[in-house]
Structure 1
Amino acid sequence: MNIKSNRKSAERRFIAFSLTPILIIFAVFSVVPIVWGILLMFYNYSPLNANSPFVGFANFKQMLHNEIFLISFKNTFKFVLIAIPVNLVLTLAVALGIKGIRSRLWRNVFRTFFFLPCIAPLSGSALIWTAMLKQNEGLFNIVLERIGLDAVNWLNDPSMAMISIIMMTLWADIGYNIILFGAGLDSIPDMFYEAAKLDGAGPWRSFASVTLPLLSRTSVFVVIMTSISYFQMFPQFQIMTNGGPMNQTSVLALDIFNNAFSYMNMGYASAIAFVLLVMILIVTLIQLRLGRVQWEY
């Protein structure tokens, strides 16, 4: 009895010893900044001012009358509602194509090829794409002119700026979801496809009746993680357009940065950050609810 008790006590000490540093780091770099940000949103705080008066919900009232915030709010949802569906369709199609390759070596080669852009820092990728999308000497327009088409003002045309950023984001980000969808597809037992084939199901019927239902858990995870990531996208918006032209690419993350570090209005920036946090939380809970599955195989 004493041996079991000593063993359990040693296991508890080991767990406490292992987790304590992780919990301390998490508290210092995650919990404390979140709590501090929530407190700041009730104050008119600026590091340039000696006084930081309590203003209650005045920062939230200011949002409702701030044109930049309203535009950023709309643009954030516009970006998310366009980029995420395109990302999911594209990555699932590529993952299915890679799964159809018989050679394991070539499957790994293609997965590595699509994942390579994810290794590069997003800011570095944004700089490269900014150079390629220049109106006069950019690679994209050089190609268009060579094939007889007119050059496009990718980053300075209000109708094209958001599309350009979405293109860059998809190029830089699809590798993650291709790997995740690939892992989900590999985990589906072949016997389900064999049974569907015996029932006379073709490729499209097998995809709709076998692949999609059995891939639902992976799909829920992919949608949630992509949504959280895309709501917080920032580097490409600042580097490629800095919110322009005419605020058509201004998003909430960029608005938070500008108010906090350009205008030093950190109380108002904290209030916007809290709104963004609540938005992400609500969207995540809705996705978890709608994507709930009750099966196992």
Structure 2
Amino acid sequence: MSKQQVSERRFIMLSLAPIVLLFLVFSILPIVIGTVLMFFDYSPLSSSVPFAGLKHIKELFADDLFFKSLRVTFVFVLVAIPVNIAVTLMIAAGINKIRGGFWKNSFRTMFFLPAIAPLAGSAVIWTTMFNADSGVVNMAFNLVGLDSINWLTDPSTALLSIVIMTLWADVGYNIVLFMAGLDSIPESLYEAAELDGASPWHVFWNITLPMLSRTMLFVFIMTSISYFQMFPQFQIMTKGGPLHETYVLALNIYDQAFTYMNMSYASAMAFVMLLIILVLTLIQMRIGRSQWEH
């Protein structure tokens, strides 16, 4: 190995060392500590930490509220993610058709602005908008002759309200990612399809979607990880109510850890969430693998 190669490797290792160190301290270490913690009875209010074995895992399987929060989480994810991807892909494709650079960048910036705002602040604003008595949403409904809706206090609409707020706050990221993917598709493919007389639908289905497969996989995985861990809007807008219809797993973990000071039980829940996210990510990567190059 030449001196230049040794120098390059040393430079790469020194450059990556801070990133790896931060990843170990703030990602790997908390996972390890949380995993170990679920086998003990730990509480900040107690000086002793007795070994508990599989006690907390057994408690999970007997906890109806845990399964309720798990069900609500899956409902939220299964509704919000497909709608998010469909809407963001449609908007990205529409913006990408704009030829003027100024207007194209303006629309992209406009849709990305809500993603810059703190999620907690956006949740407070939407809580006010969804107010049953004085919210602007019901005011708009009344103007067109529709009855007011108890958006955040009705079990049938509370989760839908949070889905709407989440989509508004989050679509900007995926729009930017999809636009980057669309920009990478060779224009020659579209020109060839136009010469063959292909309809816009056939072009989208047979060229755009296959060429976006890698971008779609990345968007799907990152959105899934993010939505499984969603917490601020559920805590601020409904606090898990009404009747636990918006009581997601992240909120359950928070309550167990910081309201009831049951850190070990919360760690067991967090471990289950980790396993779910890991398994779903591996499945998505397996299904979404593509072999094309361009």
TM-score normalised to structure 1 length:
0.96
Partner in structure 1 of residue 84 of structure 2: 87
- Does residue 159 (structure 1) correspond to residue 156 (structure 2)? The answer is yes
What amino acid sits opposite 1:133 in the alignment? F
In structure 1, stretches of 5+ residues that fail to align are none
Distance in 1 between the 2:279 and 2:21 partners? 28
SS at match of 1:46: coil
What amino acid sits opposite 2:254 in the alignment? F
Distance in 2 between the 1:226 and 1:24 partners? 26
What amino acid sits opposite 2:188 in the alignment? M
- Does residue 266 (structure 1) correspond to residue 263 (structure 2)? The answer is yes
Distance in 2 between the 1:31 and 1:82 partners? 30
Listed as ranges, the matches of 1:129-168 within 5 Å are: 129-168=126-165
User: Any idea what the Cα deviations from partners look like across 1:186-231, whole Å, max 9, x if unmatched?
Assistant: 1111111111122221111111111111111111111111101101
How many residues matched?
294
- Does residue 205 (structure 1) correspond to residue 195 (structure 2)? The answer is no
C-alpha deviation, 1:58, in angstroms = 1.2
What amino acid sits opposite 1:280 in the alignment? I
C-alpha deviation, 1:133, in angstroms = 0.6
What amino acid sits opposite 1:287 in the alignment? Q
Partner in structure 2 of residue 280 of structure 1: 277
Distance in 1 between the 2:203 and 2:262 partners? 55
User: Any idea what the Cα deviations from partners look like across 1:79-120, whole Å, max 9, x if unmatched?
Assistant: 000000000110011011101112111010000000000000
SS at match of 2:49: coil
- Does residue 120 (structure 1) correspond to residue 117 (structure 2)? The answer is yes
Distance in 1 between the 2:111 and 2:6 partners? 48
Percent of aligned pairs with the same amino acid: 59
TM-score normalised to structure 2 length:
0.97
User: Any idea what the Cα deviations from partners look like across 1:115-135, whole Å, max 9, x if unmatched?
Assistant: 000000101100110111111
C-alpha deviation, 1:177, in angstroms = 0.5
What amino acid sits opposite 2:274 in the alignment? L
The equivalent position to 2:291 in structure 1, one of 287, 290, 294, is: 294
User: Any idea what the Cα deviations from partners look like across 1:9-28, whole Å, max 9, x if unmatched?
Assistant: 43343333333333222222
What amino acid sits opposite 1:44 in the alignment? D
Higher mean displacement: 14-23 or 261-270 = 14-23
Distance in 1 between the 2:118 and 2:81 partners? 20
Distance in 1 between the 2:41 and 2:124 partners? 35
C-alpha deviation, 1:8, in angstroms = 3.5
C-alpha deviation, 1:272, in angstroms = 0.3
Listed as ranges, the matches of 1:59-98 within 5 Å are: 59-98=56-95
SS at match of 2:89: helix
User: Any idea what the Cα deviations from partners look like across 1:155-210, whole Å, max 9, x if unmatched?
Assistant: 00000000000000000000001011111111111111111122221111111111
Partner in structure 2 of residue 217 of structure 1: 214
